[in-house]
Amino acid sequence: MDCVSLREIADEDLPIFFEQMTNPAACHMAAFTCKDPADHAAFLGWFTRVRGDPQIVARTVVCDGAVVGQILTYPREGRREICYWFGQAYWGRGVATAAIAAYLTRVSARPIYARAARDNVASIRVLEKSGFLLEGLDRGFANARGEEIDEVVMVLRA
Q: Are 31 and 142 in contact (CB under 8 A)?
A: yes
Whole-number minimum distance, CB 110 to ligand COA, in Å?
19
Q: Which of residues 25-64 bind ligand COA (CB under 6 A)?
A: 26, 29-30
Select the span of 6-14, 57-65, 81-89, 103-111 touching ligand COA (CB under 6 A).
Answer: 81-89
For residues 78 and 112, the answer to whether their CB atoms sit within 8 Å is no
Of residues 42 and 122, the one with the C-beta less far from ligand COA? 122
Using alpha carbons, select from 19, 6, 14 the residue that is nearest to residue 104: 6
Specify the amino acid at residue 46: W
Compute the least distance from the CB of residue 97 to ligand COA, in Å: 3
What is the Cα–Cα distance from 134 to 124, expressed in whole angstroms? 9
Q: How far is the CB of 103 from ligand COA (least distance, A)?
A: 12
The reply to whether 89 sits near ligand COA by the rule CB under 6 A is no
CA distance 67 to 133: 29
Binding site for ligand COA (CB under 6 A): 26, 29-30, 84-86, 90-97, 116, 120-123, 125-126
